[in-house]
Amino acid sequence: MMLSRVADSLYWMSRYLERAEHTARLLAVKLESTVEQTREESENSWLRVAASLSSEDFLAEKPDGFAVTRRLAFDHYNPSSLVSSLAFARDNARQVREQLSNEVWEYLNRLYLRLSPVTAEGIWSQQPARLFREALEEIYTLGGVTDSTLNHREGWYFLEIGRNIERAQLVVRLLDLHFGTARALVKAEPSYFDWIVLLKYCNAFEPYCKEYTAIIEPEKIAQFLLFDFGFPHSVRYAVDRVCEALTQVAPGAPPSRREKVERLAGRLKAMVDFTQIDELIGGSLSAFLADITNQCEDIHEAVYASYIAYGAETVL
């Protein structure tokens, strides 16, 4: 069975890399879309980006694009920033170098060293979106290298669990800002263009158009990002990957240690498998999104209790 410290580092390495990817993509899309919005629309859109990635104290500030980018991308004191997420991922990778291929470590280390010294001031007068697009390409390459050069055994499945729990929660947060209670943080209603940007935040614009043509309807967007079983950034797809990965970790553990985490994951899977969007749009979507977030937290805590932070008495 894998050492708990190794499982812990792989799990968090993956979560932080997913967070870094999500942050880079939101900033790239927002910077690219600013020229197509009015000043008021742009400020509201920046506020949504800030609310999806940062704490409430930051939301009290003016939603200025430069300030938001500096805070969310390059602030080393902000634990949720892009450079902080990469630093945390790198630190966790360094703890388990023996479990990773040389290629994975080199790609991750190179990406961190490239972005760590960058400042918002240094890129703002040029094309800041390009930097985030390049960072995204490198993170995608790192994901491919990870899948291609690591054994798909227990350690790889801890990477899968971390990546997909993080992804589900990040997508739900975006949906909450457009459909749920967090929508109140942005006083203006989402415009037609905001719905297109939401899809782009999740790498979903082209897949959505192939599924529904170019008809942009909020209900269909919610349906796609929540329940599409084949789209990698939908909540249902992420939950399915978590459930599959959990069946592959700690195969020798007694049923009593596996029971709670598998039961929690199975309950969440059943909820996203069998709920219909027309049941939610009438008014219960906010509660549904909050329930997904809470259940993801419960799964996280159960994974820790069962496979990472368990004591000797648990094993005995």
- pLDDT, position 104: 98
Q: Please give the pLDDT value at position 58.
A: 59
pLDDT at site 68: 92
In this structure, are residues 47 and 63 in contact, taking their beta carbons and an 8 Å threshold? yes
Mean pLDDT within 205-213: 95
Please give the structure tokens belonging to residue 245.
């990965």
Residue type, 27: L
Provide the percentage of residues in the chain whose pLDDT is more than 90: 76
Map residue 1 onto helix, strand or coil.
coil
Q: 261, 299 in Cβ contact below 8 A?
A: yes
pLDDT at 61 over 70: no
At 145, the pLDDT band (50, 70, 90 cuts) reads very high
Report the C-alpha dihedral over residues 63, 69, 73, 76, rounded to 10 degrees: -70
pLDDT of residue 251: 77
pLDDT at 55: 64
Report CA torsion sign: 50, 51, 54, 57.
positive
Report the alpha-carbon distance of residue 190 to residue 172 in Å, rounded. 16
- How far apart CA 40 and CA 190 sit, in angstroms, is 12
Residues above pLDDT 70, as percent of the chain: 95
Residue 94 has pLDDT above 90, yes or no: yes
- Cα 206 from Cα 258, distance rounded (Å): 39
Please state, as a whole number, how many other Cβ atoms lie within 10 Å of the Cβ of residue 202: 25
The pLDDT of residue 214 is: 83
User: What is the pLDDT, as a whole number, of residue 316?
Assistant: 41
Lowest average pLDDT, out of 6-10, 256-260, 300-304, 307-311, goes to 307-311
Distance CA 108, CA 40 (A): 38
Instruction: Judge whether 184 and 34 are in contact, CB under 8 Å.
Output: no
Confidence class for position 314, pLDDT limits 50, 70, 90: very low
Q: Compute the distance between CA of residue 230 and CA of residue 163 in angstroms, rounded to an integer.
A: 17
